[in-house]
Amino acid sequence: MEATVEKLELMFSKSEADLNVIEMRLKLDVSNQTAENGLSHQENPIVMLERLRAIQDKHCVLRTQMTDITDAQKVSTSSIRDKLHSIVALTRHFERTTDVEVHCMAESVQQLEEMLVNGVGAE
């Protein structure tokens, strides 16, 4: 069994080496054809592919960062919404238990309640 595994590993190693040689030959051939056809370095298909790979890598990083920011924004929004609910509830409770209306806060609390009902900050 071990002999078979070692044989397979050698086959894969040889295949990988062969693919590397083929890649190098293709790059050399394309570079030579590009030079023969009078194309600039910027027009070289290999250079374009390398740039495309770099752009794809940057896109992947940006997508990951965007996902992280979106997740953090959801957590932050949820926390703010929870705190607003608490403020409204505490203010209403204070007004009910003390029979004192908090005039300076009444309008702000009303606005908070409207924002919460209208879904501001809703996910």
Q: Note down pLDDT in tens along the chain; length 123 residues.
A: 677 878 888 888 899 899 889 988 888 888 787 777 777 767 778 888 888 899 999 999 999 999 999 999 889 888 888 888 888 788 778 878 887 666 666 677 777 777 777 765 554
> Does residue 118 sit in the same domain as residue 69?
yes
Amino acid identity at 118: N
Q: Are residues 101 and 51 in the same domain?
A: yes
Same-domain pairing of 29 and 58:
no
Gap between the Cα atoms of 19 and 28, Å rounded: 14
Spatial separation of the C-alpha atoms in residues 10 and 19, rounded to whole Å: 14
Does 97 share its domain with 118?
yes
**How many domains are there within the chain?**
2
Q: Are residues 52 and 109 in the same domain?
A: yes
Please tell me the distance from the alpha carbon of residue 85 to that of residue 48, in angstroms, as a whole number: 54
pTM above 0.85, yes or no: no
Whether residues 73 and 89 share a domain: the answer is: yes
Angle, vertex CA 68, rays to CA 66 and CA 70, nearest 5: 65
For residues 71 and 94, membership in a common domain is answered with yes
Same domain, 24 and 68: no
The whole domain housing 76 covers 44-123
Residue 48 shares a structural domain with residue 99: yes
Residue 87 CA to residue 94 CA, distance in Å, equals 10
Does residue 78 share a domain with residue 28? Answer: no
Same domain, 119 and 81: yes
Q: Judge if 24 and 53 occupy the same domain.
A: no
Residue 20 CA: distances (Å) to CA of 9, 16, 46, 47, 50 = 16, 6, 15, 17, 16
HEC string for 54-94: HHHHHHHHHHHHHHHHHHHHHHHHHHHHHHHHHHHHHHHHH
Question: What are 69's two structure tokens?
Answer: 């920011």
- What secondary structure letter does DSSP report for 39? -
